[in-house]
Amino acid sequence: MIRAFLSRYRPRYKRSLVYMLQSSEYNVGEYLKWYRRTADFTRVERRKQLVWTPKARLLWASAWLLDLWAWIFVVTQLFLALWPSGPESIWLWGYPATLAEPAASWVLLLLTATAIWLIPRFVAYGLALPLWLGRVLIQRPREKAMIKRAKRKLAEHPAAKIAIAGSFGKTSFKYMLATVLAEGKRVAAAPGNMNTPIGISRFVDKLTGNEEVLIFELGEYYPGDIRKLSDLVQPDVGIITGINEAHLLRFKTLERTVGTIFELADWLSAVKGQRSPTEQTQDKPIRQAQGGHVKGLVYVNGESELARLRAGAEHLLYTRKGVGKWQIKQAQTDLAGTRFVAQKDRVSITAASGLLGLHQIGPLAACIDLANRLDLSKQQIEAGIAKTKPFEHRLEPRPAADGVVTIDDSYNGNPTGVQMVIEFLGGLKGHRRWYVTPGLKEMGPSSDRVHRNIGQQLAAAGIEKVVLVKNSVTPRIAEGLEEGGFDGELIWFDDALKCFAALPNLTVSGDVVLLQNDWADQYA
């Protein structure tokens, strides 16, 4: 406790504040949330180090100036208050002089202690203030102009525009679809997770106008977000990758989450125009790559219960069994990838993807259907699927020379994804399997239930080793393991870094180690 208190007065405290601002990409809200949650600032830079950019230097210097100024102020005030012949009333510190002893001394002491207590907080909030003002006064107006420009450009762009929304799996679907369609079309997809109005506008700014297909990921933070993004993107095709408890902390209820994500489907049905739902779902290949030919199509992940229940008859449900008239056969998965045959009428597509897990088949089937509608040939679709590989930090296998295969799923922090991954891990035979996690964050009121479920799923899958990082949520996983009759070994670590350091010393050749989710420093 004393260490935690003193940590705000260490010289490194100011560097920690700047690091966290940088780590949260100068998002003042996220930074302040971290600040209010944190008690001990001794070891903030655990995963990464502060990068000394000009902005970071400026903030760091500002933090020192604020700190120095605050201390000078307090010391000066104290000095003036104690100076027998000095002015009696200098702002707050003059007040005790008007009181009789011993009250005067006590009030002076209290004032000074409060001021010293406030100084580090003053520095922390003082740093955030100019950033917030800069955002409101400068950045936002500029962004608004940029978004307006992007909207105009997109309205005139002839490409088929595909928008992807969902609680999870958006980025994976985007890369999958872009990889497959790129075999026959000029495709542009917004990189990384550029899923906000400004992110999308920056991406649009760079488009040449020559593209045949544009793929966008729509991020949902608050109700109405997806509708606004749809207004910006003006999609021809919508894809809903699934809905779960991810970001429940922001949405409060699942109903609001469902409603927000389905704003994409609602937007499409509102603007789809003359074509009837029956016409849209007819599985006829489209002869041109213009958006008009696929306008209004909405694919919904049928394996996500919440999405399936909300989907309408006009929507195309995709699952590992197929999509539309496409039927999936001979599905199998292992550490080398996933293989299946997609069949529709007399067309048969033999798919071999590097992606791991049977849960990848549904999205791949949707890609096949859309590629087929956009007139890609069987060969092009097969070649495209063959090029789909695990994405970085998403169920990405990393075989090592010592015979241990590490599967990096550290970017997967949603309960549905976790369920799929445990299913995959459970299906691997002939390996000793490790499941390593710090749990999931931002689960809101569902957190206990979600984590208990994870424990129960792990027990049911017969995972041999479960490694948990100690925090507020992992004890629930341990409870779930016990409830599920887990008969493997449960290993605890105080923090993730100690865990990662120890793992190579705990494994043997043939082991498969799944690293599930990772918490950045602001959540650790």
Which tokens in the block code for residue 232?
């910006």
Which tokens in the block code for residue 353?
């993807």
Are 183 and 384 spatial neighbours (Cβ–Cβ below 8 Å)? yes
Which tokens in the block code for residue 96?
């005790």
How far is it, in rounded angstroms, from Cα 415 to Cα 450? 7
According to DSSP, residue 494 is labeled S
* CB of 372 or CB of 507, closer to other proteins: 507
* CB of 155 or CB of 508, closer to other proteins: 508
* CB of 108 or CB of 404, closer to other proteins: 404
Minimum separation from the CB atom of position 434 to other proteins (A)? 11
Closest to 318 (Cα-Cα) out of 309, 333, 308, 331: 308
The residue count of the chain comes to: 524
* CB of 178 or CB of 499, closer to other proteins: 499
Instruction: Give yes or no for a cis peptide into 87 (omega within 30° of 0).
Output: no
* CB of 158 or CB of 403, closer to other proteins: 403
* CB of 313 or CB of 508, closer to other proteins: 508
Burial of 286 (0-12, 13-18, 19+ CB in 10 A): middle
List residues near other proteins by CB under 8 A.
401-404, 501-509
According to DSSP, residue 112 is labeled H
* CB of 198 or CB of 506, closer to other proteins: 506
Report the 10 Å Cβ neighbour count for 68.
11
Minimum separation from the CB atom of position 504 to other proteins (A)? 7
Which tokens in the block code for residue 429?
């035979």
DSSP-assigned states of every residue in 456-479: HHHHHHT-SEEEEE-SSSHHHHHH
Minimum separation from the CB atom of position 483 to other proteins (A)? 25
* CB of 392 or CB of 402, closer to other proteins: 402
* CB of 42 or CB of 76, closer to other proteins: 42
Which tokens in the block code for residue 146?
């940029």
Minimum separation from the CB atom of position 327 to other proteins (A)? 43
Minimum separation from the CB atom of position 465 to other proteins (A)? 11
Closest to 243 (Cα-Cα) out of 253, 254, 235, 252: 254
Strands (E), 103-236: 160-165, 187-189, 213-217
* CB of 71 or CB of 492, closer to other proteins: 492
Minimum separation from the CB atom of position 182 to other proteins (A)? 34
* CB of 95 or CB of 500, closer to other proteins: 500
How far is it, in rounded angstroms, from Cα 39 to Cα 500? 25
Minimum separation from the CB atom of position 356 to other proteins (A)? 24
Minimum separation from the CB atom of position 184 to other proteins (A)? 39
- Non-local CB neighbours of 349 within 8 Å, separated by 6+ positions: 341, 342, 343, 368, 378, 381, 382, 385
What are the φ and ψ backbone dihedral angles of 419, each rounded to 5 degrees? Answer: -60, -45
Closest to 165 (Cα-Cα) out of 214, 227, 212: 227
Minimum separation from the CB atom of position 400 to other proteins (A)? 8
Minimum separation from the CB atom of position 491 to other proteins (A)? 8
Minimum separation from the CB atom of position 506 to other proteins (A)? 5
How far is it, in rounded angstroms, from Cα 159 to Cα 288? 10
How far is it, in rounded angstroms, from Cα 323 to Cα 362? 8
